[in-house]
Amino acid sequence: MANPIGAIAAVQTARITGTALQIPQAASPHLFPSALIFCPYPPTTTMELPSTDTPAIDAELIRLNLGALGEDAAECLTFLTQTFTEDTPGILAQMRQGAEQQDAATLRINAHTLKSSSATLGAASLSELCKILEAKARAEDLSQTVELVNQVEAAYAAAKVALETFQW
**For the chain, which domains are there?**
73-168 (1.20.120.160)
What's the rounded Cα separation, in Å, for the pair 104 and 21? 36
Summarize pLDDT for 59-104 with one digit per residue, the tens.
988 888 788 788 888 888 899 999 999 999 999 999 999 999 999 9
Q: Taking residues 116-137, report their average pLDDT.
A: 94
What is the end-to-end Cα distance of the chain in Å, rounded?
30
By three-state DSSP, how is residue 148 classified? Answer: helix
Span 13-50, pLDDT tens digits: 555 555 555 555 555 555 555 555 545 444 444 456 67
Distance CA 121, CA 9 (A): 18
